[in-house]
Every structure is written in C-alpha cells, then in structure tokens.
Amino acid sequence: MRRTFEGFQSAAWRLGLAGILLAAGPSARAEVDVMALRNRADQGDAAAANAVGTAYANGQGVTQDYEAALHYFRVASDSGFSEAEFNLGQMYELGRGVRADAAAAFTSYLQAAKQGVPLAEFNVANMYAEGRGVRKNGQEGILWLRQAADSGLPQAQFNLGLDYEDGAGVVKNEARAQAYYREAAAQGHARAAFNLALMVEQGRGSAPDLPTAAELYHGAALQGFGPAENNYGVMLAEGRGVKAPDPVEGFAWVSLAVESGMPPTARDFFAARLDPTRMEEARARIAVLRERTPTATAPSNGNAQSLSVDSGLRDRIERLQRELESALSAEEESERHAANLEAQVQAVRAAEHGIGDLEATVRDLQAANARLTSEVKDKILQIAILNGQLDQAAAVLRKQGEKLPNVIGSGR
C-alpha cells in the first residue's frame, strides 16, 4: 500500500544533565528513620551520612533542609563515598544550600565519575559538551558519554545513539546508532524505542522491518509518548506493519497524540475518512486508551520514560540485535582490512622513497665518476707532455756527451 501520510519524524531530543539524588538503602523510601541513620553517620558510616543528606534534601522523614543535606553529603564525600560526591555536584549545580557554582558541580561530578558513578559520567559528558563549568571539549564529552553508556545508563545510550545517527562528534554510523538505541529501549527508554522504530521503519542502519517498527512505536505509545502515539496510529490506519488496516484504532491513537501535544494533522486527515458510526467507535476507543496510558507526554529534555516490551517485541529486538551485531562485525573486519591495505600502501611509499634516494645517490656517483674520469684524462695528458719533455732533454744530453771527448782531446 502506498503511504498517504508521513508520521512524526523528528528524533533530535538530546537528554540533558541527570538530576536525581542518589541514596543508599532506606533513604530511597518515603519512610526514613533519620534518627537511626544520623546515629550511624555520627559513627562514621558514610552510606548512612549520604542517606541522611538525601532525606534532608528531599524532606523525607524530616523538614527539608538543604544546608543540613549539604553538610551530610560533605561528610560522606570526605569518607570517599562516591554517590555523595555526585549529590554534592547536584547541590552545587542547583544552588541548594550553597550558591550555584557550575565549576564546583563539575569538579564533584568528575570525582564521582572517576569512581564509576554512571550518572556522574553522564553529567560530566554533558558539561564537557556544553562548556558548563569547564572548557568545552566535545571529544572528552564523547569519551565520558561512551563510558556512561558502557556502564548501562540508558540516558547515555540514547544520547550516544543520537550522536552516531547524526554524526555529531563521531563518524556517522547508523548501525551503531541502532545498537545504542536498542540497548536503551531494552531498559525501558521510550524515546530510544521511538528513534529505533523510526530507523527500522525507514531502513536506516538495517533492512526495513515494519512489524518491528510498529511494535516499537506501540510500546512507546503505551507510555503516553506523543510522537510514538502519532506514528503508531498512522501505521494502524494505513495497515503498515500490522495484520490489517484499522482506521478506528489508528484514529484513536493519533487523537491521543494530539492530547500529548502533537500537531493535529494526522488526526484531521484520518477523521475525514471515518463515517459517523465509526467515529463513535473511535471516541469510545479513545476513552479506553486514555485510561490505559499514563499522562501524555510531548518531546522534552526530561529523563528516560519506562517502556514495557512484550515477548514478541523482545524476539524481534533480539533478532535485530543479531543482525546489527553481524553488520558491525563485518564493518569492523572491513575497517581492519582497510587498515592493513593502508599499511601496505605506506610500506610501498616508503620503499619508493628509498628507491628514489638510491637513484639520486647513483646519479651523484655517476657525476663524480665523470668528473674523476675527466681529471684522470687531464693528468694522463700532462704526463705525456712531461715524458716528451724528458725525452727531448735526454736527447740533448746524449748529444752533448758525444761531443765532450773531442773537446778534451783537442786540449791535450
């Protein structure tokens, strides 16, 4: 079927700094025994000190007190507790209990990142990329972003997928972009699932796979992600990647997308194709879907959203993962082959350079030999002249010797 309506295409929502206070143990719950934690903190328990700081920062079990939170984060940080170092960075960045200071925030994030805190690695990457609190350094930012992604942080995997898709700070590589989106989507990152769906639908980075694209859109749409609601509705209405066209269900989803802040173009387009009876069915379906999906969301720079992935979609993602791994393996083999060829070319060039030097040396020797040959010829000529002069002198001497006895005889 020829597609009559283009779904939502934009995928460029880069995630900013992570903003969650890290706690250990009970501080992650609303019921916090702050007194017991404080007693443990006073005895040198760094994790407890960090938990007390988190309780004060969030007002869990105590009145919210940023200065007290800052104090306990510093105590825990001084004991080498890496999560507290990250939390200090949050306090400096947001100006809670202390004057906002991007440079101090970066310093704390960097210390936590060096101790392997993924969220800190992510924030260091973003601050390098933006030049906030540190001199802008895109290459360093990519290194830290890759570290955070390799640590399993879905926000970092999503951003790195964007970088590879767009060629921002790295060589554009759509297969790698899909790989990072897939890793984030598997952890429940709705935007990554949406971007992966776009690439799979369009055949960028892999062969087109409309059923997988539709399921990825559906999974993200169930989380109230507006662009996914829109694109899933379009595919349903047109029967692309699904068993059969379903204009009623498709209209319901694009209508939810409008409630999520998406443009009404798709909704209005498909509304004109529904008769009154089917429109009533669609309205009833919208009410049901509205109960099933969380608060609708349009694109923003917030953190990751959860994404439920059913077993069928997991199978498709795993198959796609195998295909991408095979493609990446072939690409790496090609890169190694290209590197070997380049090394051979360099060796040939070096040999050619050596031959050129040798030829120049031979030419110099030939010129020197010609000069020596000329000089030898000159010497031989000079010797011949001298030998002639000696022969003449000898002849004169012989004549004089022959006359000498006569002279002596006449004198007697």
> pLDDT tens across 182-225, in order?
999 999 999 999 999 999 999 999 999 999 999 999 999 999 99
The number of residues in the chain equals 412
Pairwise CA distance, residues 35 & 18, whole Å: 29
Rounded Cα distance between 354 and 222, Å, is: 68
The structural domains of the chain, with segments of one domain joined by +, span 355-398
Q: Which two tokens stand for residue 125?
A: 């990457």
What's the pLDDT at 1? 30
- φ/ψ bin of 132: left (φ > 0), alpha (ψ from -120 to 50), beta (otherwise): beta
What's the rounded Cα separation, in Å, for the pair 185 and 190? 6
For the question of whether the overall pTM of this predicted structure is more than 0.85, the answer is: no
Mean pLDDT for 368-395 is 78
Yes or no: say if 317 and 309 are a contact pair by the CB < 8 Å rule: yes
Q: Which of 45-59, 65-79, 288-302 is least confident? A: 288-302
DSSP for residue 203: T
pLDDT of residue 384: 74
User: At residue 24, what is the residue type?
Assistant: A
Q: What is the pLDDT of residue 105?
A: 97
Handedness of CA 123, 129, 134, 139 (dihedral sign): positive
- Give pLDDT, residue 273: 94
Residue reference for tokens 């900013």: 16
Token pair of 275, please? 């008769």
Mean pLDDT across 168-187: 96
Q: Is the pLDDT of residue 320 over 80?
A: no
DSSP H stretches of helix in 95-173 = 102-114, 118-130, 138-150, 154-166
Distance of CA 218 to the CA centre of its chain: 27
Backbone angles phi, psi at 319, to 5 degrees: -65, -45
Kindly report, residue by residue over 330-353, the tens digit of the pLDDT: 556 656 666 666 667 676 666 666
The mean predicted confidence, pLDDT, of the chain is 83
CA nearest neighbour of 286 among 370, 229, 349: 229
Per-residue confidence (pLDDT) for residue 33, from 0 to 100: 85
**What are the backbone angles phi and psi of residue 117, rounded to the nearest 5°?**
-85, 115
Q: In the numeric block, which tokens belong to residue 379?
A: 């010497």
